[in-house]
A and B are shown apart, each in its own frame.
Chain A
Amino acid sequence: MRTQAIRIVAGAVFAALSAGPARAQDAAWVLERVDSTLTAPKDIVATQRVVLIDADGRQKERTLRVYQQGLDRRLAKFVTPAAVRGVGFLRLADDQMYLYLPAFRRVRRIASSIKHEDFMGTDLSYEDLSRTHFGNDYRAVGMTSAEQVHTLTLEARPDADVSYGKIVMRVLPERWVIVDMQLFARDGRLLKTIAASDIRQVGEYWMAHRLEVRTVRDGHRTVLEYEDLQVDTGLSDDFFSQRQLKRSS
């Protein structure tokens, strides 16, 4: 009798334990699909129109030419406004980053501590802009599914040097495209929301062409629109170099 009771309790505990990991595994599997979708294009080339909108509706606009390859390599150059025209940003593996300042004709290495800072007054930090793979810094801890949308909850890994403690993202199944995200501080405060729209197929890939980022604290928003978005253009590894950063285009 006692042995049977132990077996029943043990069975219940096993069932409970196995049910939790099963859901986490589903979430992890979905996160893998999301990361795979984000990193599927060999490279991306686009013109990015960035509109900064403050709480009173005043707008500022920037235009950048962006190039991205794989997880690590990213090169961005400002086209407008005039005060920052030609300023370039290069990110390589291991958070190695460089800034090109045309006024001084100078490439300067910058410390990765900049990644927590807002990028040129936008609602996006350097970290937001360079992230293409959530699985490196976050683990999926939960998922719910409703109305053809998965809602994933991610928690920062203890050793990850990231600004957000938790991310809640909604993902379109099958296409594995992120529809929106809520970004929380480690103390649980909601910091930012990101909404993706204008989701279209480019080559073999489904990609959002418009992102709206809102900072909760001050109500400031940044709208990013991708124009002339191209994928798999055949950019070489050498393109992501200080040499290219210095070039005018």
Chain B
Amino acid sequence: MTVARTRWLTVLGAALLGVQPVAAQDLRFGGFVRLDRRISLVDPGRLADFYHVFRPELSASFEGQAEVVVSLDARFYGLKARSAEELARANRHVRSSVTLWEAFARISGFVVSPLDLTVGKQRILWGAADGLNPTDRFNAYDLSDLTDFTARVPVWAVRGEYYATADWRIEAVWTPTAHRPILSPGMDDLVGGAGHGAPPGPATSRTGHFETPSFGLRNSQYGFKVAGGAAGLDFSASYFDGFDGIPAVRRVTFLSPDASGSTPMFDAHVWSMLPRIRVLGADVAAEWRGVGLWAEGGIVLPDGVEIVTDVVTGSDSLRERGMAIEGKAYATWTVGGDYRFRGGWYLNLQWAHGLFLDRGAGQLHDYLIGKLERRLLRETVTVSLQGVVEVVQWSNWSDHAGYGVYPKVVYSPVDNVDLSVGGLLAGGRGDALFGHFGDLNQVYLRVEVSF
């Protein structure tokens, strides 16, 4: 165990000792098992790469004043019979993984009654928008499921929330490091800069080297937030200093296996890291005539990231330098609203300027996201249709646009059991993000059992 981790556990222990010793009032074991089978629509009949999840959780509550939660995330990729070739093609090296998902202690009234302290691995969700939150920066993305853009990975953190009144609070968060995101197979290629200075011809192999930020002050993240409510409005202003959730490529080396260089084929080695950013954010949520409304935005101040590309052919090498990320500020935002009609229909519309992979001044795409949902038979069946229209260039939108369609039906025959069938149909032209997802079009069958 490293010194940093020992220190971290000491902090956790000290936080726990801050509470008066009380017996656990409520000890609970729960969680869910989700079996998920994906079928590719691009290569009909072939199972798309995906995983089953088992996420057990143990929680204890101490007279409502403290809470401890520990959960694991176990993912099992495909069938045992899956071949090494298939795993390699899916850019995956393991058939299963087990990680500590959440592990935190929350103490209400820590030292002073208005202060809540949460220490440990946790989800820190900032922002008022529905799932597409430009100010939500502490947790790494979990983009392993392209039918769910809202998933995040919990992060080790210390979080203090001071409730000045029931409506006003000040929040401070510190995390000793950042985690790398979980990306879908093939998404690595979409990370900006990977193609910079690429030689002509196909890469015969691609080896990724991700530089994970180490534990320590230099690589820590922190942020502050002031949130309040007045006149029916909920609003907040925030500041974040940490890492962008998506890696940037800082170095690429193309090696030709043919020393003569006569064969235009190369092995590509790609080094990526998480670029440092600061985000000034704000959000507001309100209601008008029964319509829920929200707006959330951030001004992102990124550190510039230089990319160095080497093309090595035999004894010759060629080096090129450029900027993977310009150090210029840019704005990203989401506005939206929702309404529940009499009769059970639910409509949710959002307009996002910039999604997870977009960054850089003038580089952000626009996304109109809509969801129509209907619950039937007393919530035994839920039918929903979600759609995304992506516009890269408004001046030439027909050649630079994408789309995504996400139909879904959930049937809950008994409590704690959900059977789902759904899919992803995506496509696009030009640089559209959803155009890249077209190769991953799929339908899924899912069984989730909660316990």
Q: How far, in angstroms, from A216 to B123 measured CA to CA in the complex? A: 44
Q: How far, in angstroms, from A60 to B416 measured CA to CA in the complex? A: 11
Interface centre among B339, B415, B418 (most CB of A within 10 A): B415
A230: Cβ under 8 A from any B Cβ: no
Name the distance in Å between B82's Cβ and chain A's nearest Cβ.
29
Known: A109-B128, A111-B340, A116-B342. A94 touches B25 (CB 8 A): no
Which single member of A54, A61, A237, A247 contacts B67 (CB below 8 Å)?
A247
Known: A83-B450, A113-B339, A240-B166. A247 touches B291 (CB 8 A): no
Which single member of B130, B340, B379, B416 contacts A120 (CB below 8 Å)?
B379
Q: How far, in angstroms, from A247 to B30 measured CA to CA in the complex? A: 17
Name the distance in Å between B382's Cβ and chain A's nearest Cβ.
11
Note all chain B residues with C-beta closer than 8 A to A121.
378-380
Note all chain A residues with C-beta closer than 8 A to B416.
81-83
Q: How many residues of B contact A (CB 8 A)?
A: 47
Which single member of A54, A108, A243 contacts B163 (CB below 8 Å)?
A243
**A 99-128 binary contact with B (CB < 8 Å = 1; else 0):** 000001110111111101110110000000
Note all chain B residues with C-beta closer than 8 A to A110.
292
Q: Are the C-beta atoms of A109 and B125 separated by less than 8 Å?
A: no
Closest B residue, CB atoms, query A122: B378
Q: How far, in angstroms, from A83 to B418 measured CA to CA in the complex? A: 9
Note all chain B residues with C-beta closer than 8 A to A118.
378-379
Chain A stretch 211-248: residues in CB contact (< 8 A) with chain B: 220, 237-238, 240-241, 243, 247-248
Q: How far, in angstroms, from A163 to B343 measured CA to CA in the complex? A: 11
B61: Cβ under 8 A from any A Cβ: yes
Q: Are the C-beta atoms of B450 and A111 separated by less than 8 Å?
A: no
Q: Are the C-beta atoms of A248 and B291 separated by less than 8 Å?
A: no
B177: Cβ under 8 A from any A Cβ: no
Note all chain B residues with C-beta closer than 8 A to A163.
342
Interface centre among A83, A95, A240 (most CB of B within 10 A): A83
A139: Cβ under 8 A from any B Cβ: no
Across the A-B interface, how many residue pairs have beta carbons closer than 8 Å?
A: 95
A145: Cβ under 8 A from any B Cβ: no
Chain A stretch 21-52: residues in CB contact (< 8 A) with chain B: 52
Note all chain A residues with C-beta closer than 8 A to B59.
248
Q: How far, in angstroms, from A97 to B344 measured CA to CA in the complex? A: 18
**B 124-167 binary contact with A (CB < 8 Å = 1; else 0):** 11001010000000000000000000100000000001010111
Known: A82-B30, A105-B122, A247-B108. A113 touches B166 (CB 8 A): no
Closest A residue, CB atoms, query B287: A111
Known: A52-B378, A82-B451. A96 touches B163 (CB 8 A): no
Name the distance in Å between A2's Cβ and chain B's nearest Cβ.
57
Known: A112-B287, A247-B64. A104 touches B116 (CB 8 A): no
Q: How far, in angstroms, from A121 to B418 measured CA to CA in the complex? A: 15
Closest B residue, CB atoms, query A81: B415
5 intermolecular pairs with C-beta atoms under 8 Å apart? A81-B450, A113-B339, A117-B340, A243-B161, A249-B26
Q: Which A-B residue pairs are the 10 nearest by beta carbons?
A: A111-B292, A113-B290, A83-B450, A121-B379, A81-B415, A241-B166, A121-B378, A248-B61, A82-B450, A113-B340
| Extra contacts besides A95-B287, A105-B125 (9): CB < 8 Å | A81-B450, A82-B30, A106-B125, A109-B292, A111-B340, A112-B290, A113-B292, A163-B342, A249-B61
